Amino acid sequence: MAKTPDHPALAAARSRGPLPSPAPLSLEQVRAIALEAGADDAGWVSLDHPDLAEEVPHVLTAMPGARSLVAIVLRMHPENVRSPRRNVANLEFHRTGHAVDEIASRIARALDGLGHRALNPPMAFPMDMSSFPSRSWIVSHKRVAQAAQLGAMGLHRNLIHPRFGSFVLLGTVLTSAEVPQAPAPLAYNPCIDCRLCEVACPVGAIEPGGGFRFSACYDHNYREFMSGFADVLEEVVDSRNRHDFRDRVPLHEAVTTWQGLAYKPSYKAAYCVAVCPAGDDVLGGFVHDRTGHVQRVLKPLTEREETVYVVAGSDAEAHVRRRFPHKRVQRIRSSLRATRPREFFGALPLIFQRGPATGWAATFHFDLSGPEAVRATVSIDDGQLRVTPGELTGSPDLLVRADARLWLAIASGRRSPVWAVLRRRLRISGDRRLLARFAACFPR
């Protein structure tokens, strides 16, 4: 074998000289590459865009030197997504999602062939679950597509494309290429504020005032994608025998778990997408026959008998029992259980319940010590929440001092607060009754 300095491949590379700088691209070239690869629409946005500030560190971790993002849109078949038989809808989600990944890969290879580094992160899975339940995705495709002017976020927190409406899936390609042109802004937000998504949601994730109950959507709609499998495993461990396990996990749920592993997991609802009439391609049927749209699309979903997964004591549980008494309520543990002390405070806005927090106000100081020490101020004021991590601000109505890991164990129900107080490992100053009120706002 030749020694490294004399290696023929190295000698040949030196003789060819340095690689030439790639030619700059135009927005039209980028879009043409994407459409030729199979995208139904595409756009471009610089990583410097102010709306993408939160994405920058995650994008640069995945691809150091990335400068731009190519956003792509693929249209789904609306009738499949609207079907009350949700396995039909999920087939469409998975089929289109697979196509998004393949098309994004072709775009990345085409850009690379032009001398621009590029990679395509997954449309959805696989994600980096080492950080779960914190952020496990590389880039927010919805945020990128909106910055690239391919659509706008609707009331249901999904991107609405001006032509295809909500019946789209999105992908992103990271690249070192720079495109000097900025995308032209949308002329209007395609969302028509019909509020059908609010009516259709079985867990009331879309609030009448425009707020969004993140955990309600997450716990039910993403039951099979996230921690539902872990919950089934825990039931296996806790069960005394097969009969006890069958009492804990109904047969249909056990088989559903197997099907999710074998054939990809399924969304439990996604009704907000199914009923949305926005977008030029689908709006006509709603405008000219609103009653028919409600009868054909909305009512089969709202009247559907199904299991709805909720956390005990949550706003979602109250909503489904009041609004959909014909649907079966199954109580589950929260999918957003923190595994690290800092994650606990980051998750609070996502699992906050306005119902138990209405009609009172208090400020909580958390001074948690140990190797994972963290400080935070949590303020609750008549259904509103404010979390200030890293600081103890204002005058507290309740001060909590403990080891950070111990507090996490107490908050998750693994340790008793009474035991911790008696052992002087949990010290509470102020009105102790507020601790129960605090816990009710963040059911686990």
pLDDT at 1: 57
Class of domain 341-441: alpha beta
pLDDT at 3: 65
For 117, phi then psi, to 5°, come to: -60, 145
pLDDT at 338: 84
Residues of the chain with pLDDT under 50: none
- The continuous run of DSSP H or E covering 221 comes out as helix 214-221
**Residue (of 402, 394, 390, 388) closest to 363 by Cα position:** 394
Q: How buried is 332 (Cβ within 10 angstroms: 0-12 exposed, 13-18 middle, 19+ buried)?
A: middle
Beta partners for residue 200, in sequence order = none
pLDDT at 46: 96
pTM of this prediction? Answer: 0.92
Helix (H), strand (E) counts: the chain: 20, 13
Domain 27-175 CATH (choose: 3.20.20, 2.70.98, 3.40.109, 3.40.50): 3.40.109
Q: Please, where are the H alpha helices in 114-193?
A: 141-147
pLDDT at 132: 79
* pLDDT tens readout for residues 207-265: 988 889 999 999 999 999 888 888 999 999 999 999 999 999 999 899 999 999 999 99
Residues of the chain with CATH 3.30.1050.10: 341-441
Residues of the chain with CATH 3.40.109: 27-175
Angstrom distances, CA of residue 222 to CA of 16, 50, 95, 130, 255:
53, 30, 18, 18, 17
d(CA 296, CA 177): 46
